[in-house]
Amino acid sequence: MSQKIFIKTFGCQMNEYDSNRIFDAVKKIGYEKTDIYENADCYLLNTCHIRDKAKEKVYHEIGRVKKKFRFKKKPLVIVAGCVAQAENQEMLNREPYIDLVIGPQSYHKINNTIINYIEHNKRIEETEFDADAKFDYLSKIKNVTSKVASFLTIQEGCDKFCNFCVVPFTRGPEYSRPYNQILDEAKYLADNGVREIILLGQNVNAYNNDGFKLSNLILDIEKLPEIKRVRYTTSHPKDMTEDLIEVYKSSKKLMPLVHLPVQSGSNKILTRMNRKHTIEEYLSIFYKLKKINSKIKFSSDFIVAYPGEDNEDFDNTLNLIKELRFVSSYSFIFSPRPGTVAENLNLIDKKIAVQRLEKIQNILFENQIQMNRSLENSVIDVLVENLTEDRTKTFGRSEYMTPVIFDGKKTDIGKIVRVRINQSNRNTLFGEAINVSNQKVA
Ligand code: SAM
Ligand code: SF4
Ligand code: F3S
């Protein structure tokens, strides 16, 4: 009889990619996926450690599972991801309901770990950093996805050590996957219906494998005729090198949305964060790209109320947002993380922090609303990803990742369709497909 696995994923796109790859792996030992967690024989929680009470959230979640399964056969409970890496043995000590703890660089060991547990009832943690072995193993298992737009991790880890961030500790040092391994995976995805590839890494633009860089990868991947769009995320300003900027001149399929986290508009705060770049350097990247293609837009990540941020620093962030008119950005209140340099710094008053977050989000949201509104009555390219949930319309994305809902057909899935936008709100554009026969002849 086959076993059912339920996978719950928190955190960034890299965790989403990992969860899919974990499932590709455990299929080999007889697991099927279930979306109903009460039916699971194995409950896997892929965790994120980036903010707030990440650790407590995990124990809370496990508590919920425990309650649900009180009168049923206990599932095998696995904690994976960044909290697993940070907490390792401590999780097994604190919560006997957890059976296995496995960190992000040890997923190649997951099947053996599960089999070992089933045969010997051995609760263990696997948290060694061994990215080479992981990707070597995973590259032999096909990346199966039914999605039109698919993630492809090319780089892991971080050597930047921003003072607020846990990623260098949970994902380990920067590692770039072998170039040909990535091209093989891209080809496999293209052959199996993927039309947009989103290259992933905690520092994706730090990718460097024997001198082959992200710019080379973009140009090689776009040679695959089935691939219509290429994106990459998340980048660090320091690694926005000339070759990558130049790619925007020659690439045919690289999308004009650049996600480039800046965190703060104040050089004083950037220095305190150990971000290793200045606002002037950031602006120079922005204007160089704009000069190459004026359609390019930026999105970003912001941390407000970082220790030491005064009104002037915060105003500098607001001014930067007003100048660069970021679209679809993320913003957070600084959250002290265990083990980081900023862990014990004096926090800014909670009320002020919340006010600053609201202020920044209002401006970011207003930019988004205006950008979407400016598209009303125009015709844009939409890569169709799926039918809407009620199956009456189609869902796709604009070049800037904005969701678009329109009256397409099931056969449009995987295609780029011209859509006239007639309505919008902050997050979504609504429109109708332009058929050649619909178009007025001038
Ligand atoms: N590597 C990317 C970069 O350099 O910007 C960011 C990766 S991190 C997974 C995603 C975002 O989480 C960061 O850009 C930052 O805005 C936010 N973040 C990270 N640590 C944080 C903290 N301690 N408190 C609040 N936000 C945090
Ligand atoms: Fe975290 Fe900074 Fe590395 Fe980004 S560059 S993952 S924010 S340490
Ligand atoms: Fe979270 Fe780890 Fe991603 S901490 S944001 S899941 S790299």
Q: Quick: pLDDT tens for 113-152.
A: 999 999 999 899 999 998 999 999 999 998 887 799 999 9
Where would I find the beta strands (DSSP E) of 250-293? 257-259
In angstroms, what is the span from residue 165 Cα to ligand 1's centroid?
Answer: 6
Q: Tell me which of 48, 160, 162 to substitute to probe ligand 3's pocket, judged by most ligand atoms within 8 Å of the beta carbon.
A: 48
**What is the predicted pLDDT for the residue at 2?**
81
Which of 85, 158, 165 to mutate to test ligand 1, by most ligand atoms within 8 A of the CB atom?
165
Q: Work out the percent of the chain whose per-residue pLDDT is above 90.
A: 94
Pairing of strands 257-259, 297-299: parallel
What is the reported pLDDT for 52?
84
Range 241-270 burial, b when 16+ CB lie within 10 A, else e: eeebbebbeebebbbebbbbbbbbbbbebb
Tens digits of residue pLDDT in 365-421: 999 999 999 999 999 999 999 999 998 999 999 999 999 999 999 999 999 999 999
Closest to 181 in 3D by CA, of 233, 221, 127, 149: 221
| pLDDT band, very low/low/confident/very high, at 196 (cuts 50, 70, 90) | very high
- Give the separation between CA 360 and CA 357, rounded to whole angstroms: 5
Token pair, residue 286, equals: 């922005």
Residue nearest ligand 1's atom 10 by CA: 301
The pLDDT of residue 298 is 97
What values do phi and psi take at 419, rounded to 5? -125, 130
Average pLDDT over residues 16-41: 95
Question: pLDDT for 319-368, tens place per residue?
Answer: 999 999 999 899 999 999 999 999 999 999 999 999 999 999 999 999 99
Listed residue (226, 237, 180, 229) closest to 204, CA to CA:
237
The yes-or-no verdict on residue 108 having pLDDT over 70 is yes
pLDDT, tens digit, 9 for 90 and up, residues 266-290 = 999 999 999 999 999 999 999 999 9
Residue nearest to atom 3 of ligand 3 (CA): 12
| CATH number, domain 379-437 | 2.40.50.140
Residue 440 scores a pLDDT above 70? no
- Taking residues 86-113, what's their average pLDDT? 96
SS3 state at 369: helix
- Atom of ligand 3 minimally distant from the CA of 202: 7
Q: Mind listing the pLDDT tens digit for each residue in 146-192?
A: 799 999 999 999 999 999 999 999 999 999 999 999 999 999 999 99
Quickly state the pLDDT bin for 436 (edges 50, 70, 90): low
Categorize the per-residue pLDDT at 435 as very low, low, confident or very high, splitting at 50, 70 and 90. confident
Pocket of ligand 2 contains residue 162 by CB under 6 Å: yes
- The pLDDT score that the predictor gives to residue 48 is 96
Measured N-to-C along each axis, helices 214-221 and 179-191 cross at an angle, to the nearest 10 degrees, of 30
Contact 255, 397 (CB under 8 A): no
Would you list the domain boundaries of the chain?
3-128, 133-373, 379-437
> Superfamily for 3-128?
Methylthiotransferase, N-terminal domain (3.40.50.12160)
Find, among 417, 441, 409, 423, the residue nearest to 378 by Cα.
423
CB atoms near residue 343 (< 10 Å): 12
Going by pLDDT thresholds of 50, 70 and 90, the confidence category of residue 439 is very low
CATH class in words for 133-373: alpha beta
pLDDT of residue 145: 79
Helix 214-221 to helix 242-250 angle, to the nearest 10 degrees? Answer: 20
Residue range 253-264, pLDDT digits in tens: 999 999 999 999
Half-sphere exposure (CA, 13 Å, Cβ side) for 200? Answer: 16
Residue 438 confidence (pLDDT): 46
Q: State the Cα angle at 6 between 2 and 12, rounded to 5°.
A: 140
Name all residues whose Cβ lies below 6 A of ligand 1: 12, 50-51, 164-165, 167, 202-203, 234, 236, 261, 263, 301, 303, 332, 334-335, 337
Buried b (16+ CB within 10 A) or exposed e, 179-207: bebbbebbebbbeeebbbbbbbbbbbbbb
Q: Check if the beta carbon of residue 339 is closer than 8 Å to that of residue 169.
A: yes
The answer, yes or no, to whether residue 305 has pLDDT greater than 80, is yes
Residues 6+ positions from 20 with CB-CB distance below 8 Å:
143, 144, 145, 151
pLDDT for 45 equals 97
Does residue 380 sit in helix, strand or coil? strand
Please provide the distance, in angstroms rounded to a whole number, between the alpha carbons at the two ends of the chain: 65
| 442 CB burial (10 A radius; 0-12, 13-18, 19+) | exposed
Cis peptide upstream of residue 234 (ω within 30 degrees of 0): yes
The angle subtended at Cα 152 by Cα 209 and Cα 48, nearest 5°, is: 105
Q: Nearest ligand, CA of residue 259?
A: 1
Residue 437, pLDDT above cutoff 90: no
Which one, of 190, 165, 181, lies nearest residue 82 by Cα?
A: 165
Where on the phi/psi map is residue 94: left (φ > 0), alpha (ψ -120 to 50), or beta?
Answer: alpha
pLDDT digits (tens, 9 = 90+) for 222-252: 999 999 999 999 999 999 999 999 999 999 9
Beta carbon of 233 within 6 Å of any ligand 3 atom: no
Q: Are 54 and 19 in contact (CB under 8 A)?
A: no
Which whole number is the average pLDDT over 422-426? 96
User: Amino acid identity, residue 228?
Assistant: K
Q: Please report which ligand is nearest the Cα atom of 51.
A: 1
Tell me the average pLDDT of the chain: 95
